[in-house]
Amino acid sequence: MGTAGRGSRGSRQLPALTAAERAAVRTPEQACAEGEGDEGLCRFLSAPRAPRPLEMKALFLGPRGENAPRLEALLVRALRDNAAWRRAFHPGDLPVVSDEDAASAGFTRFWEGFEEELFALLEELKADVPFHSPRYLGHFLGDTALPALAASIATLLYNPNNVSWEVSPITTLLEVEVARELAAMVGFGRGAEELARTWGHVTSGGTVANIEALWAAKAARYLPLAVRAAALESGLSGLPVRPGGPPVGSATSWELAGLPLAAALDLEERYVRAFVEACPDMAPAEAAGRAAARLRAHDVLTLGDQAFAASLGEGDRLGPPVLVASQTMHYSWKKAAGLAGLGSASIWPVPVDRRFRLDAAALRARLRQAAAERRPVLMAVAVCGTTEEGAVDPVHEVVRLREELRAEGLDFFLHCDAAYGGYLAACFRDERLGLRPIEAMRADYGGWPEAEVYDAFAALSEVDSLTVDPHKLGFVPYPAGAVVFRDGRCRELLSQEAPYVFDAEEPGRSQGPSIGRYILEGSKPGSAAAAVCLAHRVIPLDERGYGALLGRLVGLARTFEARLGEVARRLEGRFVVAPIASPDTNVVDYLVNAAGNDRLDVMNRLALSLYAQLSIAPQEPLNARRFLVSHTALTSEAYAPEVVRPLLEERAGVRGAYYVGTDELCELRRASAATGHDDRVVVLRSAMMSPFALEPARGDRTYLDFFFDDLATFLEGGRVSSEA
Ligand SMILES: *Cc1c(COP(=O)(O)O)cnc(C)c1O
């Protein structure tokens, strides 16, 4: 959220909340206005806010713990501050732990044991993965941003539980705030009022966010059918499907299941209103509650899939629902489909093109097929930053396709799984959250992004829901994912209480926003919301903050790609080294081969032996490895030969149809006819997560200089010493 926008919205600390939401707690601003706030905080709030440039070197603890003394000072203050807060709650209460207690033998022994165990644990953790180092070039895991880390640790001392406002009055507000900030970053709404119509919250991660989005999408798809049943039961069969449209009582299940999300949610609202109007003798709140309860009784989440399907009339049945998703989808979608009752077999994967981006034409064919089979499409998933390749699906084309098919009565809930790539949206936003021109971005980020990537991010504002993980490119400690819905009414679909309680407020007692009843999870850490919140306050979600950090990382990926080209030239005639595609984000996947080798199985063995030299060896000390990368496999189960074979031929020099399906491979092996075939392509994968990869590591040679030397040495069969 831009610093500029803050003051103008009335609250410096919670700019994305509405006045009503802020009224639920006494904000620091109010307390200060009444002369009762903490002195330091009031001074901070009333001082003009100077622009604070993002200083990359101040942002992390550092590869050598360079910023440890500064973090130590902050954490000690945070701990003392928490203790002072404890004392200030009824200062006259007597201490429980007296000096004599603390001097007792039992007390001392307890603390000694505790200390020993703690430091033994820390010794064990020394074998952990050194994500903090620019030598770690593997998964999207890096050093955490200090504001997030400090806020997380400091808030743990309070241990708020964001399941309910009652046990997290502050961090619940922070959670609503950060979700709105993420909504604003992707263009879901501008200004507090528009943003208040979105809904989002922090989750334990992208998996839970995806599951929740599918849960809501399923409820939304069948909502009009539940409204039809409730309306018929209530003598409201004349309720029009759309204003001025045909009555709901005469609409078919297929027509109703094809309504756009907003139309479905509008229909629900009009049903409740019609119900209230038809009961003039009942108090409106009570009538609305009755209407909601009746609707709930017909809902798919209440009835379960079988009873719901059975409730539809003969001749008006629907086929089983499907989920259509980019082939490169994360495996959490399989979990989600199983949980949502579709079964993972009802996921229709859509092939990707040679850039590993969803093929929109193939998607159209899949959607048409679903329509022909009368199978409702619960959701279409586009991925922004695929887990394996960092590829960005053409969200703009999927949005266009939705328009096109809507005209044919086929609609789908569009979700963008931006668990990994979502924060890159900050690169696209200026400090007023306007979309930056592509030329300005390319000038800043080493030529990134390509037009397709730009259009995809610009179209995020049109999707129905979005997963974005602060614990990935937000550099926030685990657990911190998020799900955001563009139409905030979606949360009512999942609500465990009657939604239409017009008179919720008990007189004289303000009611805070509640999260727990609308979400999948129960008890959850308020410290996660606080961590995300402080990260956003210090690192704005636009070109000045996350945009600058992540822009550097995508620029590094382009440098990495160029350096791969240099190594390839150095090794020409002996080895092949090449990226599988130009990176859409900050991940580079690359393949290696021996020059002239045509056999895919041999090529894969070479990649695995290289990986073995660039990954943690459990039996050896951590620093036996100078660099760490990750690897993945393009498997025939997920990637079509039309995508992979040309790639192998052009980039790795593997001619012939050696890339085959698993069944075919088994057959070939059984007949002893496998002459180099495999059902996968092993590729190495490096995510650029450290902004310091081009800093000198020794002398004037950078981390990347050393890395590419090692890569060449290993390929030529040489060894490197663990020093230098
Ligand atoms: C990481 C990832 C997920 C899962 O997120 P978790 O936080 O690990 O649960 C989902 N989708 C994509 C695209 C991802 O990269």
Please work out whether the CB of residue 387 comes within 6 Å of at least one atom of ligand 1.
yes
Instruction: Using a pLDDT cut of 70, give the percent of the chain over it.
Output: 96
For the chain, helix (H) and strand (E) counts, in that order, are: 29, 14
CB contact set of 691 (below 8 Å; sequence gap of 6+): 56, 549, 552, 553, 556
Given this model, what pLDDT does residue 409 score?
83
pLDDT band at 471 (very low <50, low <70, confident <90, very high): very high
Given this model, what pLDDT does residue 574 score?
95
DSSP calls for 304-353: -HHHHHHHSPTT---PPPEEEEETT--THHHHHHHHTTS-GGGEEEEPB-
Q: Which of 55-59, 191-195, 469-473 has the lowest mean pLDDT?
A: 191-195
Cβ–Cβ under 8 Å, residues 258 and 410: yes
* pTM beyond 0.85: yes
Instruction: Using a pLDDT cut of 90, give the percent of the chain over it.
Output: 82
**Cα 384 to Cα 426: distance, rounded to the nearest angstrom:** 13
Given this model, what pLDDT does residue 552 score?
97
Mean pLDDT of the residues in the chain: 92
Write the DSSP symbol of residue 589.
Answer: E
Q: What is the mean pLDDT of residues 625-634?
A: 96
Torsion of CA 618, 620, 623, 628, to 10 degrees: -40
Residue 20 has pLDDT above 90, yes or no: no
Distance between Cα 381 and ligand 1 center (Å): 13
Distance between Cα 195 and ligand 1 center (Å): 25
Please work out whether the CB of residue 206 comes within 6 Å of at least one atom of ligand 1.
yes
pLDDT band at 99 (very low <50, low <70, confident <90, very high): very high
395 vs 313: which has the higher pLDDT: 395
Given this model, what pLDDT does residue 191 score?
81
Cβ–Cβ under 8 Å, residues 419 and 609: no
Residue 562 has pLDDT above 50, yes or no: yes
Please work out whether the CB of residue 420 comes within 6 Å of at least one atom of ligand 1.
yes
Cβ–Cβ under 8 Å, residues 168 and 161: yes
pLDDT band at 659 (very low <50, low <70, confident <90, very high): very high
Closest ligand 1 atom to 383 CA: 13
Q: What is the mean pLDDT of residues 374-383?
A: 97
Task: Map 404-451 to HEC letters.
Answer: HHHCCCCCCEEEEEECCCHHHHHHHECCCCCECCHHHHHHHCCCCCCH
Substitution candidate for ligand 1 out of 332, 335, 395, 630 with most atoms within 8 A of CB = 332
Please work out whether the CB of residue 579 comes within 6 Å of at least one atom of ligand 1.
no
Given this model, what pLDDT does residue 723 score?
60
Q: For residue 296, what are its two tokens?
A: 């709930």
Please work out whether the CB of residue 205 comes within 6 Å of at least one atom of ligand 1.
yes
Q: What is the mean pLDDT of residues 229-236?
A: 96
Closest ligand 1 atom to 210 CA: 10
- pLDDT tens readout for residues 237-288: 999 999 999 999 999 999 999 999 999 999 999 999 999 999 999 999 999 9
- pLDDT tens readout for residues 115-128: 999 999 999 999 89
**Cα 12 to Cα 28: distance, rounded to the nearest angstrom:** 10
Residue found by looking up tokens 């002996």 in the block: 574
Given this model, what pLDDT does residue 200 score?
97
**Cα 340 to Cα 352: distance, rounded to the nearest angstrom:** 25
Distance between Cα 330 and ligand 1 center (Å): 6
**Cα 264 to Cα 445: distance, rounded to the nearest angstrom:** 42
Distance between Cα 42 and ligand 1 center (Å): 40
Please work out whether the CB of residue 18 comes within 6 Å of at least one atom of ligand 1.
no
Q: What is the mean pLDDT of residues 450-468?
A: 98
Please work out whether the CB of residue 481 comes within 6 Å of at least one atom of ligand 1.
yes
In degrees and rounded to multiples of 5, residue 638 shows phi and psi of -105, -30
Q: What is the mean pLDDT of residues 409-426?
A: 96
Work out whether the CA dihedral 150, 153, 159, 161 comes out positive or negative: positive
Distance between Cα 204 and ligand 1 center (Å): 11
Please work out whether the CB of residue 332 comes within 6 Å of at least one atom of ligand 1.
yes
Cβ–Cβ under 8 Å, residues 278 and 236: yes
Alpha helices in 543-658 (DSSP H): 546-570, 600-613, 641-647
Closest ligand 1 atom to 385 CA: 13
Write the DSSP symbol of residue 190.
Answer: -
Please work out whether the CB of residue 469 comes within 6 Å of at least one atom of ligand 1.
yes
pLDDT band at 7 (very low <50, low <70, confident <90, very high): very low
pLDDT band at 722 (very low <50, low <70, confident <90, very high): low
Residue 719 has pLDDT above 80, yes or no: no
Please work out whether the CB of residue 326 comes within 6 Å of at least one atom of ligand 1.
no
**Cα 269 to Cα 264: distance, rounded to the nearest angstrom:** 9
Closest ligand 1 atom to 329 CA: 13
- pLDDT tens readout for residues 490-538: 999 998 765 444 344 444 445 567 898 899 999 999 999 999 999 999 9
**Radius of gyration in angstroms for the set of CA atoms belonging to the chain, rounded to a whole number:** 28
Q: For residue 289, what are its two tokens?
A: 């509650």
Please work out whether the CB of residue 390 comes within 6 Å of at least one atom of ligand 1.
no
User: Residue of the nearest CA to atom 4 in ligand 1?
Assistant: 206
